[in-house]
C-alpha cells in the first residue's frame, strides 16, 4: 500500500478524480453558473474561463468554496465538502444520514463521513482503495477555483426567469398589423400561478435582494392563500435555502428539502418545474450528506423522465457516490444508448472502467468525453485518469499532451504537479532541502536515529507478522512493494507498538505525525520493481524519505520526481514534493528499505493544519 498516498493520486487519483463532478449536469443551478462563466456557450467554452476542478458548478460547491475561502465553518459545508466534491463511492467514504449540527461545528466532517475501515465497506472500490490515496482522485478545489456566488440569484436562472425577447412588429402583406401572438407559456409556470403572478414577482424581488426571511414570509403567505400554486411553493423552497445559507442552518436546509418535495408532489406542477425541484432537492440532500436519500430522489426523477440524459446522468452520479459503480455504469451506458456521444456519460463511464483497470477501454470513453468539452467533462480527475491510461498503454506522447492540456486549462498546477487537493498559494518545487522545507530539526533527529529506526523495521519484516502489506493501489508496473504504516491522516496506528522507539522519535515531530494529509510508513521494495509514474493527492505536504537499507548493486535504485532523478543514501533524508509526478525503479540485487515521513508544507498555516480535510 505504499502507493497509498501517491497511488491514490495516480490512478487512484482516478478516484479522486471524482471530485467535483458530481453535480454538474442535472444541476440546474450549476448549469447556470457555468453558463455565466463560459459566456453561455456550451459548445465552445473558453478553456481559461472554465470552472476549474470543481467544475461542479453546483450552488453548493460555490457555497463550499466561499466558506473555505472565508474560513467559515458550517456543519453542512463540512459534510458537503466531501459529499459533493468527490464520489464517495469511489473513494470509500461511508455515507451518513446524520445531520450535522448547526453552527459552531469544527470544519471537520463527522466521523461517519470518514472513509471507512476495511470490512465496513460496501463496495469493491471501497475495499480496494487505499485509505491514504483514496481521496486522491477527488478534485481539489482549495484556493484553486474562483466561482462567483451567483447560484442563488434566480435572475441568473435561465429556467426560472426566461427572458422574453420583444419581437419586432411585422406587417402582413395587406399592410395590417397581425394579431399579437401569445408568448409561449413558460414551461415552469402553471395555470395556478397565473392569478398571483404579480405577488410572485414581488416575492422574487425579495429573494433576489437576499432578504431571505422576508421572501420566505411572502412566499408562505402565497402558499397559504394559493396552496396549489407550484411557483409559490418553489419560491418558498428557494427562500428557505437562502435563509439556510445565511444562517448556516441545517434545520432550515431540511425544511427546504421538504419544500422542494411539496412542489413536486403538487398535481398542478408542470413537468419542467418538477424536474427542477427534484434535482435541486437531491442536490441539497447530497450537500447534507444524505446520499441515499438523494439517490431515491433521483430514482424517482428517472422514473418520470426516463429519457432525460441530465436526469440519468445525475442518477449515475448518485450511484457513484454511494459506491455502486456497477449500477452507475449501467445508467451511463443507458444514457449513451439514448444519446450517443453524451460527454458527461462518456467521462464517467470511462472513469469507472479506468479504475477497474481496463486502461485501453477507458480511453475509448475518456478521450471523446474530455474532448467534447461538454459541461461536467472538464475535471482534473478525468484528465488525470485519461493521461494515466494513455501512459500505461504506451501512448506516452498523448499522455503528455493531456497533462499539458489539463495544466493549461487550470485543472492541474502544472503538467507534472497533478495533485487535486491543493492550496493554491503554496510554493512548489520537486526536491527540497531541509532548510527550504523548514525541517532541519526533524532531519537531524531522523538521521541521528536512523539505525534504531532501521533495526525496529528489520525485526518486523517477517511476512508472517503481517505488518508489511502489499501495495494495492495499482501503482506497480512490475515487482513487489510493501509498506508498514505507522501514522495516517494525523492518527497513530496501533501497529506503532511494534516499533516503539521509532514512534517515540516520531512523536517529537508534530508536523509529521499530526499531518492530516499524510502518512508515516516504512516502504520496502524488492529488486525488479518499477512503479508507474504517479502523483500524490495534495500539495499540502512534503515527503521525507529516510534511507535505511539502500542497495547499490546491479542498476541500483532510483527515484524520479518531475525531471530530476535521484537516489537514496543510508542514514540520509531525501525530501520531495509527491504532488509532482514521480516514478521509482528498483534494479538492485537486494531489497531497499526506507521510512517515509510526510510533513506539512512549510507554508501551511496553523489554521489550515486544523481545518483541511484529512487525506
Ligand atoms: C513514493 O513515495 O511514491 C515512493 O517513492 C515510495 C517508495 O517507496 O519509493
Ligand atoms: Mn508516490
Domains of the chain, by residue range, sit at 2-81, 195-269, 341-412, 431-611
What is the C-alpha to C-alpha distance for residues 29 and 57, in angstroms, rounded to an integer? 8
Nearest residue (by CA) to ligand 1, atom 7, is: 523
Measured in Å, residue 584 CA sits from the centre of ligand 1 at 7
Calculate how far, in angstroms, residue 189's C-alpha sits from the geometric centre of ligand 1.
Answer: 59
pTM of the model: 0.73
Q: Which atom of ligand 1 is nearest to the CA of 6?
A: 3
Q: How far is the CA of 559 from the centre of ligand 1 (A)?
A: 8
Q: How far is the CA of 49 from the centre of ligand 1 (A)?
A: 36
Angle of the 271-287 helix axis to the 59-70 helix axis, nearest 10: 30
Report the nearest atom of ligand 1 relative to the CA of 524. 8
- Reference 379, options 388, 369, 389; nearest CA is 369
Q: What is the pLDDT of residue 67?
A: 37
What's the gap in Å between 570 CA and the centre of ligand 2? 19
Count CB-CB contacts under 10 A for residue 510.
Answer: 14
Contacts of 441 (CB under 8 A, 6+ apart): none
Q: Which three cell numbers, joined as nine digits, stand for 498? A: 511494534
What is the CA(153)–ligand 2 centre distance, in A? 43
Residues 6+ apart with CB under 8 A from 64: 77, 80, 81, 84, 85, 141
3-state secondary structure of 410: coil
Task: Enumerate residue ranges in the chain where pLDDT < 70.
Answer: 1-185
Nine cell digits for residue 363: 480511453
Q: Top-level CATH class of 341-412?
A: mainly alpha
The rounded Å distance from CA 534 to ligand 2 centre is 6
Q: Which atom of ligand 1 is nearest to the CA of 481?
A: 8
> How far is Cα 144 from Cα 416, in angstroms, rounded to an integer?
17
**Helices within 209-290 (DSSP H only):** 212-225, 230-247, 250-265, 271-287
Beta partners for residue 93, in sequence order: 115
Q: Is it true that 195-269 and 341-412 share their CATH fold?
A: yes
Question: Phi and psi dihedrals of 327, rounded to 5?
Answer: -65, -45
Q: Which ligand is nearest to the CA of 598?
A: 1
What is the C-alpha to C-alpha distance for residues 129 and 496, in angstroms, rounded to an integer? 22
Q: What is the pLDDT of residue 175?
A: 55
| For ligand 1, atom 9: residue with the closest CA | 584
Q: Which ligand 1 atom lies nearest to the CA of residue 594?
A: 8
Other Cβ atoms less than 10 A from the Cβ of 458: the count is 14
User: How far is Cα 560 from Cα 259, in angstroms, rounded to an integer?
Assistant: 55
Q: Which of 536, 596, 598 to mutate to test the pocket of ligand 1 (most atoms within 8 A of CB)?
A: 596
Expressed in percent and rounded to 5, the helix, strand and coil fractions of the chain are 50, 10, 40
DSSP conformation class of 44: S
Tell me which residue of 367, 378, 380, 369 sits closest to 50, measured CA to CA.
378
List, in sequence order, every residue forming a beta bridge with 573; answer none if it has no partner.
546
Nearest atom in ligand 1 to 3's CA: 3
- Say if CB 235 and CB 248 are below 8 A apart: no
| pLDDT tens per residue across span 148-193 | 222 233 223 333 333 333 334 444 445 555 555 556 568 999 999 9
Q: Compute the distance from residue 564 Cα to the ligand 1 centre, in Å.
A: 15
pLDDT at position 186: 85
What are the two backbone dihedrals, phi and then psi, of residue 334, each rounded to the nearest 5 degrees? -60, -45
Which CATH architecture fits 431-611?
Sandwich (2.60)
Give the up-direction half-sphere exposure of residue 399: CA atoms within 13 A in the CB hemisphere: 19
Task: Tell me how far the alpha carbon of residue 524 lies from the centroid of ligand 2, in angstroms.
Answer: 13
Residues 6+ apart with CB under 8 A from 399: 387, 388, 390, 391
Pocket test for ligand 1, best of 3, 545, 548, 568 (most atoms within 8 A of CB): 545
Residue 35 CA to chain centroid, in angstroms? Answer: 21
Give, for 561, the enclosing helix (H) or strand (E): strand 556-561
What are the φ/ψ torsions at residue 528 (nearest 5 degrees)? 85, 10
HSE of 579 in the Cβ direction (CA atoms, 13 Å)?
A: 31
Q: How is domain 195-269 classified at the CATH fold level? A: 1.25.40
Give the separation between CA 15 and CA 385, rounded to whole angstroms. Answer: 9
Q: 92 in the Ramachandran plot: left (φ > 0), alpha (ψ -120 to 50) or beta?
A: left
Burial 588-597 (b: 16+ CB within 10 A, else e): beebbbbbbb
Residues at CB less than 6 angstroms from ligand 1: 2, 6, 523, 525, 543, 559, 578, 582, 584, 594, 596
* Position in ligand 1 atom list of the atom nearest CA 559: 5
C-alpha cell at 289: 450528506
Quote the CA–CA distance of 370 and 156 in Å, as a whole number: 27
| Residue 596 CA to ligand 1 centre (angstroms) | 8
Mutating to test ligand 1, I would choose from 5, 484, 523 the residue with most ligand atoms within 8 A of its C-beta, which is: 523
Distance 369 CA to ligand 2 centre (A): 28
Q: What is the pLDDT of residue 65?
A: 37
C-alpha torsion angle, residues 441, 442, 445, 448 (rounded to 10): -100
State the pLDDT at residue 66: 36
Ligand sitting nearest the alpha carbon of 534:
2
| DSSP string for residues in 330-362 | HHHHHHHHHSTT-HHHHHHHHHHHHHHT-HHHH
Atom of ligand 1 nearest to the CA of 534: 3
Helices (H) and strands (E) in the chain, counts: 25, 13
Q: Give the H/E segment covering residue 383.
A: helix 380-392
3-state secondary structure 480-502: CEEEEEEEECCEECHHHHHCHHH
Burial class (CB in 10 A: 0-12, 13-18, 19+), 463: exposed
Per-residue pLDDT reduced to its tens digit, 554-600: 999 999 999 999 999 999 999 999 999 999 999 999 999 999 999 99
- Select from 584, 586, 588 the residue to mutate for testing ligand 1; criterion: most ligand atoms less than 8 Å from CB: 584
d(CA 30, CA 151): 7
Q: Which residues contact 595 (CB under 8 A, 6 or more apart)?
A: 446, 453, 457, 502, 520, 521, 522, 523, 545, 546, 548
Closest CA to 530 of 575, 591, 480, 578: 480
Give strand pairing partners of 463. none
Distance between CA atoms of residues 333 and 313, nearest Å: 10
- Select from 9, 559, 567 the residue to mutate for testing ligand 1; criterion: most ligand atoms less than 8 Å from CB: 559
User: What pLDDT does residue 473 have?
Assistant: 87
Nearest CA to ligand 1 atom 3: 6
Q: At what angle do helices 309-321 and 291-304 cross, to 10 degrees?
A: 160
**Going by CA atoms, what residue is nearest to atom 4 of ligand 1?**
584
Amino acid at each position: 500500500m505504499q502507493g497509498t498516498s501517491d497511488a491514490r493520486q495516480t490512478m487512484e487519483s482516478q478516484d479522486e478524480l471524482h471530485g467535483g463532478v458530481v453535480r454538474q449536469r442535472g444541476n440546474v443551478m450549476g448549469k447556470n453558473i457555468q453558463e455565466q462563466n463560459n459566456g453561455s456557450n456550451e459548445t465552445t467554452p473558453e478553456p481559461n474561463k472554465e470552472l476549474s476542478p470543481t467544475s461542479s458548478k453546483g450552488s453548493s460547491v460555490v457555497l463550499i468554496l466561499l466558506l473555505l475561502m472565508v474560513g467559515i465553518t458550517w456543519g453542512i459545508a463540512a459534510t458537503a465538502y466531501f459529499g459533493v466534491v468527490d464520489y464517495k463511492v469511489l473513494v470509500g467514504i461511508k455515507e451518513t444520514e446524520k445531520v450535522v449540527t448547526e453552527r459552531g461545528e469544527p470544519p471537520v466532517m463527522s466521523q461517519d463521513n470518514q472513509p471507512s475501515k476495511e470490512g465496513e465497506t460496501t463496495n469493491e472500490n471501497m475495499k480496494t482503495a487505499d485509505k491514504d490515496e483514496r481521496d486522491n482522485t477527488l478534485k481539489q478545489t482549495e484556493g484553486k477555483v474562483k466561482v462567483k456566488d451567483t447560484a442563488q440569484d434566480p435572475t441568473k436562472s435561465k429556467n426560472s426567469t426566461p427572458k422574453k425577447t420583444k419581437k419586432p412588429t411585422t406587417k402582413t402583406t395587406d399592410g395590417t398589423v397581425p394579431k399579437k401572438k401569445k408568448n409561449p407559456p413558460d414551461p415552469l409556470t402553471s395555470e395556478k400561478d397565473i392569478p398571483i403572478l404579480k405577488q410572485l414577482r414581488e416575492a422574487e424581488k425579495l429573494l433576489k435582494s437576499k432578504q431571505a426571511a422576508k421572501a420566505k414570509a411572502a412566499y408562505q403567505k402565497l402558499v397559504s392563500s394559493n396552496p396549489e400554486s407550484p411557483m409559490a411553493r418553489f419560491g418558498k423552497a428557494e427562500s428557505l435555502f437562502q435563509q439556510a445559507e445565511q444562517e448556516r442552518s441545517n434545520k432550515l436546509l431540511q425544511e427546504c428539502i421538504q419544500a422542494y418535495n411539496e412542489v413536486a408532489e403538487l398535481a398542478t406542477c408542470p413537468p419542467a418545474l418538477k424536474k427542477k425541484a427534484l434535482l435541486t432537492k437531491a442536490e441539497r440532500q447530497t450537500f447534507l450528506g444524505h446520499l441515499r436519500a438523494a439517490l431515491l430522489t433521483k430514482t424517482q426523477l428517472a422514473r418520470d423522465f426516463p429519457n432525460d440524459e441530465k436526469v440519468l446522468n445525475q442518477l449515475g452520479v448518485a450511484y457513484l457516490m454511494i459506491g455502486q459503480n456497477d449500477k452507475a455504469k449501467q445508467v451511463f451506458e443507458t444514457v449513451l444508448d439514448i444519446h450517443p456521444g453524451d460527454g458527461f456519460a462518456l467521462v464517467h463511464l470511462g472513469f469507472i472502467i479506468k479504475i477497474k483497470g481496463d486502461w485501453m477501454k477507458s480511453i475509448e470513453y475518456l478521450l471523446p468525453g474530455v474532448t467534447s468539452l461538454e459541461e461536467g467533462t472538464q475535471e482534473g480527475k478525468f484528465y488525470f485518469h485519461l493521461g494515466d491510461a494513455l501512459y500505461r498503454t504506451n501512448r506516452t506522447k498523448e499522455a503528455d499532451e493531456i497533462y499539458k492540456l489539463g495544466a493549461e486549462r487550470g485543472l492541474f498546477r502544472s503538467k507534472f504537479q497533478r495533485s487535486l487537493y491543493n492550496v493554491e498559494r503554496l510554493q512548489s518545487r520537486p526536491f527540497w532541502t531541509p532548510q527550504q522545507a523548514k525541517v532541519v530539526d526533524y532531519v537531524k533527529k531522523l538521521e541521528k536515529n536512523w539505525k534504531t529506526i532501521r533495526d525496529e523495521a528489520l525485526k518486523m519484516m517477517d511476512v508472517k507478522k503481517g505488518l508489511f502489506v502489499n501495495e494495492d493501489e495499482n501503482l506497480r508496473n512490475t515487482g513487489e512493494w510493501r509498506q508498514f504504516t505507522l501514522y495516517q491522516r494525523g492518527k497513530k496506528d496501533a501497529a506503532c507498538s511494534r516499533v516503539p522507539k521509532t514512534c517515540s522519535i516520531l512523536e517529537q515531530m508534530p508536523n509529521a505525525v499530526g499531518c492530516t494529509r499524510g502518512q508515516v510508513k516504512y516502504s520496502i521494495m524488492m529488486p525488479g520493481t518499477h512503479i508507474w509514474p504517479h502523483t500524490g493527492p495534495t500539495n499540502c505536504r512534503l515527503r521525507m524519505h529516510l534511507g535505511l537499507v539502500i542497495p547499490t548493486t546491479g542498476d541500483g535504485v532510483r527515484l524520479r520526481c518531475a525531471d530530476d532523478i535521484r537516489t537514496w543514501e543510508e542514514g540520509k533524508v531525501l525530501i520531495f514534493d509527491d504532488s509532482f509526478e514521480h516514478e521509482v525503479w528498483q534494479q538492485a540485487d537486494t531489497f531497499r528499505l526506507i521510512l517515509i515521513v510526510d510533513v506539512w508544507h512549510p507554508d501551511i498555516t496553523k489554521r489550515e493544519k486544523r481545518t483541511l480535510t484529512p487525506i
